Chain A
Amino acid sequence: MPGVSLKVKRRQLALLVIFFLIIVALIVRVAYIQVVKGAALRKMAYEQHNRGMIISPRRGTIYDRNGKELAKSASVDTVWVLPREIANSEISIEQIASDLAKMLGMDSGKVYKVISANTSYNVIKSKIEKDMGNEVRKWIAVNKVKGISVEEDSKRYYPNRNLASHVLGFTGTDNEGLEGLEVILEKYLKGIPGKIISELDGSGQEMPFSVEKRIPAQQGMNVVLTIDETIQYMAEKALERAIFENKIAGGATAIVMDPRNGDILALASKPDFDPNDPYIPPEEEWMPTFKELMEIKDKDMELNESDLDKIDMDNWSGRTNLEVLILRASLWRNKALIDTYEPGSTFKAITSAAGLEEGVVTPETQVNDNPVELAGYKLKCWRDGNLHGQESFREGVYNSCNPVFVRVAQALGIEKFYQYVNAFGFKEKTGILLPEGRSIFHIKPQELDMAVSAFGQGFQITPIQLASAYSAIANNGTLVKPRIVKELTDNEGNILKSFEPEEIRNVISRQTCDTLLDILQGVVSEGTGKNAYVKGYRVAGKTGTSETLPRGSGRYIASFAAIAPADNPVITALVILDDPRGYSYMGGVIAAPVAGKLVEDVLSYLGVERNYSEKDMEMMTKTVYVPELRNKPVAEAKKMLRERVLEVRVESGGEKAADDTLIVEMTPKPGASIPEKSVVILYTYKPEKEIMVKVPNLSNMTIAEATRALNDVGLNIKISGMGIAMIQEVQPGELVAKGTVIEVKFRHIDNVE
């Protein structure tokens, strides 16, 4: 046998040396990790571990000013597993998996995977209903299951669904605020999470394994808003009706404020969303255009027009970047705060305030509406063909003549004019807690810029800015910061933090306010704002119609700003209808009646007493309730109706009914409220079919004409508004039962801007 060569032996020695060096390296490295870095790594390991199982805190409730719940957290359960303890159960892990799957409505294979995972804690299912959670708790007790625990969790509910959705916002899956006040007030609402820790205390001291430490969660603070749920509801309903009647394509907004302390009583924006389910896609009509998306997208987001075609509505998740952008541009957009627009004639109140305060005009100053020529432009009155001519300043405001305001501004001068613009807060954010848009003004305005601004064009502001400015006029000239959150409370009702009303500055004198309010009241009673007139309440206000840029697009924004009652203001209301495509786009025709009705509803809800003027009394048609006449003899029925100033017509199926014949059927039904002199039809037989009549076309009729036209065919009228008939509840030509009450809306369309 040959000897082993020396060469080979040297190689084995070399291997040994290599091994030795590697071993030394390993030991050095182990020593470095354990001895040098050991303490730090140990601390890290504890921290990692002590994260433990989180018990989410109950999120605070959001109340309206009267304590009604707008957003609340319902108690739900989350089922957790501690996989390493599960083996100590009395039943097998397979059994546990299949039982849990059945109770929680999950796939048992999936449950098995979760509960047998090699982790310390795992969620099996989160946010299940209490009933389901209790069922699992019972099952744990009965089967002596270890390692499965049911812990309290919470889930956000918005009981009024869409109501005040833009103000409230919504929360994500971990109950974190994502939009609106839910995100702004996150730090107050969220509370402090609790946790379950095993093994170690905070100092890293070891404790026996079985010890489980439980740090309870601390509930978040409750938030009390200045919003009044009922007023919010009124505002939203008013907008919904207006959108329907006027075919509004661009959305609408309404703000109701208490001018005395800046409290926002209602902040409505349409379209809106249900915060319980905020990711539902917008209806086709509210789909934003590519341009609108480009305006609000983040700088670093890529967006091409072709991307919009790629959206698959069937697979809409609401979570992709583009889908979220669409939601932000449409349903989630709080138009009342974010949108900037040209206020148009509503801004004339501000120009007037400045002019009156500086004494460049008085209500009786004689002015005229001849066009003003400036820098090659001719600034004309809206009634260009038939100028108002010589008039007092007061009448100039009633008639909303642009040149009148241009001259006032010119008399003030650029510096003074913009000083008032600034003082009314148009160049700063109002400071309401929610995100606001930024108003747009010329940086260095020239005279022409100012002249155009005097009647509300050439710059853009947010609705909330205008509402605040009107509130200052209503509040003796003091601008107050709009307040939407009143206070933070705990569950016992203790106030933890209160947000006091904040006066910003005094803008105009009390006297100027009184004068201006008097003029603005005249606008409603005699001028362009007639459609906002409310019997019994003195409403001051100003209409506004502005064509959106580019001019000539035929797209308008109709608005109306109101203060009421004018002699002692309690509310300021602003209604804006964006892109009306119905019978009119004029603020005085379509926005004024919405604002008038809203003001009437709110004042009567707030219990402000009506004070009817003589003119009101004259104009009022009394309404009466229809009495129950069935099973009464004809003679008695006739007598009862005469007492109520109602006409009667008896249908007896041919022969004349005897006075003692009993009445079988009647239209309108008992309890209906109808104007005096309406006709009630009495049947002495059971009509197989009620007699149907064709509804006449009432358009452009006066109240008297329309009433006669309906009564002639045996129908009754319900009058709403004044002026000439614009909208009838039932379309002309439709068949309705004789005696039916048809609601007809009348509007002033003469003498509006």
Chain B
Amino acid sequence: MYFVEKTKRSLIRCFDYTLFFSVVILSLLGLFVLRSATMTMQNQSRMMLIQTIAIILGVLLAIAISLVDYKFLKDIGIFLYWGSILLLIYVFIDGYGEKLGSKSWFDLFGVVSVQPSEIAKVTFIISLSIYMERLKEEAGKNNLLKLFIHAALPIGLVLLQRDFGTSMVFVVILAVMLFVWGIRFKYIIMAGGAMLLSMPVLWFFVLNERRKSRIIEFLSPGFDPSDASYQMDRARMAIGSGQWFGQGIGKGLQTQSGGVPVKESDFIFSVIGEELGFIGASFVVILVFIILFRCLYVARTSKDYFGEYLAAGVTGMFAFHYFENIGMNIGMLPVTGIPLPFVSQGGTAMIAYYIAIGIVLSISTRRKKIMFSS
């Protein structure tokens, strides 16, 4: 019975406060930045309301989940997986968002818009962990094929939504989990080779012109004076304008004059850079490192494989989100539609990330008492 805890004391003592508070601090900072970023927008109050509710709901959910033994996920994991697959299919029937680049939203009760791919990231991690643990324990039967098919289904669906960035998240989650799971180096090399080979295929058959232009712009800045380079230029200008201490919340010239594109989501790091300066931006980056470090630490100290894989998956998800998002903001990586977790506007994502954190907290609470013993 997972719901009955043996000792309340160990629960409180082993709770990963560092991770929890890092996330909460980042969320609160994000709320201020988001308020400033959306000051020029029509629906600011509605956005802020949704974001605040999502954070409160998220924190409560995370605490609740941390109190529950994560092993119950093993029982419901497969249902969660198929549930999210159904939702991913549903957006094809009744979704919207083509104008933003990919059709990946649907309306829930006509009130809130839900982005199933955000939910799917978490269920993806859970179901993969179940599979991997099974594979690990039935050693010898190293049948990875089934695992790959299992993973390919949601990735394919997200790709069909033309959401290339999010499908990359799934791939990275899978890669990190497999790496931690102990996939042989020969497979890693094979995967690397396959990636190289698939590049021309992607370029000529999968990627559309806009995505290609983003990559071209990244590889040779100034080559293409279109959308992609405009976004990167504006973002760089905004971040640079922040200098050491920033122009202050609500006072960023680029941010407030509409110079920064998608500033409430993909380019919110530019707002942080402009309004909070190097001090603020590096503070965020350090918080990110702490979060990743703690997640990885939880994976390392998990009492079982299931917990380890779960935590590794969550680490991979956050790592990709943070690195890609910040990287594209500062012109190190090509532009994709990847938000900054706990900061970017988006209710579904916020709740999904808090659920992921709740799972990691649950694992950490039940971790091995003695560390580095074996």
Q: Does A7 make an interface contact (CB < 8 A)? A: yes
**Cβ of B241 and Cβ of A26 under 8 Å apart?**
no
Q: 8 Å CB contacts to B: which residues of A16-33?
A: 16, 19-20, 22-23, 25-27, 29-31, 33
**Cβ of A48 and Cβ of B40 under 8 Å apart?**
no
List, in ascending order, chain A residues with CB within 8 A of B258's CB: 83-84, 118-120
Chain A interface, >50% SS class? helix
**Cβ of B285 and Cβ of A15 under 8 Å apart?**
no
**Cβ of B237 and Cβ of A44 under 8 Å apart?**
yes
- CA of A40 to CA of B241 in the docked complex: distance in angstroms? 8
Least CB distance, B284 to chain A, in whole angstroms: 9
**Cβ of A34 and Cβ of B281 under 8 Å apart?**
yes
**Cβ of A83 and Cβ of B40 under 8 Å apart?**
yes
**Cβ of A38 and Cβ of B182 under 8 Å apart?**
no
- CA of A19 to CA of B321 in the docked complex: distance in angstroms? 13
Closest A residue to B40 by beta carbon equals A84
**Cβ of B374 and Cβ of A12 under 8 Å apart?**
no
**Cβ of B182 and Cβ of A7 under 8 Å apart?**
yes
User: Chain B interface: which size bin?
Assistant: 35 or more
- CA of A9 to CA of B308 in the docked complex: distance in angstroms? 11
Q: Does B366 make an interface contact (CB < 8 A)? A: no
- CA of A44 to CA of B241 in the docked complex: distance in angstroms? 9
Q: 8 Å CB contacts to A: which residues of B94-124?
A: none
Q: Does A301 make an interface contact (CB < 8 A)? A: no
Q: Does B143 make an interface contact (CB < 8 A)? A: no
**Cβ of B277 and Cβ of A34 under 8 Å apart?**
yes
- CA of A20 to CA of B288 in the docked complex: distance in angstroms? 11
List, in ascending order, chain A residues with CB within 8 A of B323's CB: 22, 26
- CA of A22 to CA of B319 in the docked complex: distance in angstroms? 10
**Cβ of B327 and Cβ of A30 under 8 Å apart?**
no
Q: Does B303 make an interface contact (CB < 8 A)? A: yes
Q: Does B80 make an interface contact (CB < 8 A)? A: no
List, in ascending order, chain B residues with CB within 8 A of A9's CB: 300
**Cβ of A35 and Cβ of B300 under 8 Å apart?**
no
The answer to whether residues A30 and B253 also contact, given A38-B242, A118-B258 and a CB cut-off of 8 A, is: no
**Cβ of A34 and Cβ of B244 under 8 Å apart?**
yes
List, in ascending order, chain B residues with CB within 8 A of A34's CB: 239-240, 242-244, 273, 277-278, 281
Q: 8 Å CB contacts to A: which residues of B127-185?
A: 176, 179-182
Least CB distance, B211 to chain A, in whole angstroms: 21
List, in ascending order, chain B residues with CB within 8 A of A3's CB: 374
- CA of A1 to CA of B71 in the docked complex: distance in angstroms? 14
User: Which one of B2-10, B61-69, B289-297, B337-345 is at the A interface?
Assistant: B289-297
The answer to whether residues A5 and B182 also contact, given A19-B289, A49-B253 and a CB cut-off of 8 A, is: yes
Q: 8 Å CB contacts to A: which residues of B311-325?
A: 312, 315, 319, 323
Which one of B238, B278, B300, B319 contacts A45 once the chains associate, using CB atoms below 8 Å? B238
- CA of A439 to CA of B284 in the docked complex: distance in angstroms? 73
Chain B interface, >50% SS class? helix
In the complex, how many residue pairs between chain A and chain B have their CB atoms under 8 Å apart? 144
The answer to whether residues A41 and B240 also contact, given A7-B182, A34-B273 and a CB cut-off of 8 A, is: yes
Q: 8 Å CB contacts to B: which residues of A434-493?
A: none
Which one of A1, A26, A86, A119 contacts B327 once the chains associate, using CB atoms below 8 Å? A26
List, in ascending order, chain A residues with CB within 8 A of B281's CB: 30, 34
**Cβ of A12 and Cβ of B299 under 8 Å apart?**
yes
**Cβ of B253 and Cβ of A29 under 8 Å apart?**
no
Central interface residue in A30, A83, A199, A206, by most chain B CB within 10 Å: A30
Q: Does B282 make an interface contact (CB < 8 A)? A: yes
**Cβ of B243 and Cβ of A45 under 8 Å apart?**
no
Least CB distance, B254 to chain A, in whole angstroms: 5
Least CB distance, A88 to chain B, in whole angstroms: 11
Q: Does B259 make an interface contact (CB < 8 A)? A: yes
**Cβ of A11 and Cβ of B180 under 8 Å apart?**
yes
- CA of A87 to CA of B44 in the docked complex: distance in angstroms? 10
Q: 8 Å CB contacts to B: which residues of A68-94?
A: 83-84, 86-87, 93
- CA of A399 to CA of B210 in the docked complex: distance in angstroms? 77
List, in ascending order, chain A residues with CB within 8 A of B299's CB: 12
**Cβ of B319 and Cβ of A199 under 8 Å apart?**
no
Closest B residue to A198 by beta carbon equals B257
List, in ascending order, chain B residues with CB within 8 A of A199's CB: 253, 257
**Cβ of A27 and Cβ of B180 under 8 Å apart?**
no
List, in ascending order, chain B residues with CB within 8 A of A46's CB: 253
Q: Does A116 make an interface contact (CB < 8 A)? A: yes
Q: Does B261 make an interface contact (CB < 8 A)? A: yes
- CA of A46 to CA of B296 in the docked complex: distance in angstroms? 43
Which one of B42, B247, B277, B312 contacts A116 once the chains associate, using CB atoms below 8 Å? B42
Q: Does A4 make an interface contact (CB < 8 A)? A: yes
- CA of A15 to CA of B319 in the docked complex: distance in angstroms? 10
Closest A residue to B316 by beta carbon equals A15
Closest B residue to A15 by beta carbon equals B296
- CA of A200 to CA of B257 in the docked complex: distance in angstroms? 12
List, in ascending order, chain A residues with CB within 8 A of B199's CB: none
- CA of A46 to CA of B315 in the docked complex: distance in angstroms? 39
Least CB distance, A24 to chain B, in whole angstroms: 9
A residues near B (Cβ < 8 Å) are 1, 3-9, 11-12, 15-16, 19-20, 22-23, 25-27, 29-31, 33-35, 37-42, 44-46, 48-49, 83-84, 86-87, 93, 116, 118-120, 199-200, 206, 209
> Which 10 pairs of residues, A with B, have the shortest CB-CB distance?
A41-B240, A84-B40, A38-B243, A3-B374, A42-B241, A34-B278, A120-B257, A45-B237, A23-B289, A45-B241
B residues near A (Cβ < 8 Å) are 39-42, 44, 176, 179-182, 236-244, 247, 251, 253-254, 256-259, 261, 273, 277-278, 281-282, 285-286, 288-289, 292-293, 296, 299-300, 302-305, 308, 312, 315, 319, 323, 326-327, 330-332, 374
Q: List 15 A-B contacts (CB under 8 A).
A: A1-B304, A7-B182, A9-B300, A23-B289, A30-B281, A30-B285, A33-B239, A33-B240, A34-B278, A35-B243, A35-B244, A38-B240, A45-B238, A45-B259, A87-B42
